[in-house]
Amino acid sequence: MTETTEHMRALLRREGVVLAPGCWDALTGLLIEQAGFEAAYVSGAGIAYSRLGRPDIGLMGLREIADTLTAIRERIGIPMIVDGDNGHGNALSVQRTIREYERAGADVIQLEDQSLPKRCGHLKGKSLVSADEMVGKLQAALDTRRASLIMARTDAIAVEGFEAALDRAERYVEAGVDLLFVEAPESDAQLAEISRRFAHRVPLLANMVEGGATPIRSTDQMSAFGFKVVIFPGGTARAMVPALQGYFASLKQHGTTAPWRDRMLNLTELNDVLGTPEMLAEGAKYDAAAVATRSTHKGTGTDGDD
């Protein structure tokens, strides 16, 4: 088991809610870690937004997401909860998804019961695979995983209704998943009922989508409901887009960044965020002058005891 996966397990065992903002690349992941969050949610929607400039309607492939995970994991040391969509196909595709995502550094892998092509959980027009097929896919994931936690997500509220979603969730919990995610509950009453039925059996995740179907609640409120993990996956993009729109409008109008300068980092500040001084210092240990100095010391016997 990896250190980050063990940390994620510890977070789920302790009191309180795990709050995980959404990221889609190494920079957004780094900023989440630097802000002091203990986990990041790698958003499939966010990857589609940033890599394709397109909505979350099933356009991203397994390899694109796995490569993104690899880059994020190389840069951050906090657990990653990863949107695995519907496993990119059937049970055999799910097995490959689990292997690839684990290799890329995923700690929790989320699988949903949408059929192909999938779409954002708060968009209309979704369709589902049967509960039996989803149970088979979850069993394939559980049989394949080596260390990661498997989270089942059902999108049935918007398709089959709330009671049917609870029935599906029951099947998925019985299959042995590590976390449960009932997507897009529409009221506090539904949040409370999900918690009443499942919170004592499996950690529950809630998805906060600004403008989505679920009422936005704070982590304290969600903890009172009985939820263990709260994600704000798209909030990062919804905060970033207006900022960049304003910046670009200002630049186009004025032909300079001067009016926006107090809302920007300068070059030194950005390099500090990225860790440039530390990287340059690390590289300097291996440049030609440093190697020559070490070689000279070894030749004269001055770098250690006789």
> Of the candidates 212, 221, 246, 219, which has an alpha carbon nearest to the alpha carbon of residue 45?
212
Same domain, 42 and 116: yes
Cα 82 to Cα 73: distance, rounded to the nearest angstrom: 11
Same domain, 225 and 251: no
Which of 208, 233, 258 is the C-terminal boundary of a domain?
A: 233
Same domain, 166 and 124: yes
pTM (predicted TM-score): 0.92
Cα 272 to Cα 281: distance, rounded to the nearest angstrom: 13
Which of 233, 251, 276 is the C-terminal boundary of a domain?
A: 233
Same domain, 33 and 66: yes
Same domain, 54 and 192: yes
Asked if residue 306 is part of any domain, the answer here is no
Asked if residue 305 is part of any domain, the answer here is no
Same domain, 174 and 225: yes
Same domain, 263 and 202: no
> How many distinct structural domains can be found in the chain?
2
Q: Burial of 250 by CB count in 10 Å (0-12 exposed, 13-18 middle, 19+ buried)?
A: middle
Q: Quick one: CA dihedral 141, 46, 227, 158, positive or negative?
A: negative
Same domain, 33 and 161: yes
Each residue's pLDDT, cut to its tens digit, for the chain (306 residues) gives 799 999 999 999 999 999 999 999 999 999 999 999 999 999 999 999 999 999 988 888 899 999 999 999 999 999 999 999 999 999 999 999 999 999 999 999 999 999 877 766 676 768 899 999 999 999 999 999 999 999 999 999 999 999 999 999 999 999 999 999 999 999 999 999 999 999 999 999 999 999 999 999 999 999 999 999 999 999 999 999 999 999 999 999 999 999 999 999 999 999 999 999 999 999 999 987 777 887 777 766 555 544
Q: Residue 199 belongs to what domain range?
A: 3-233
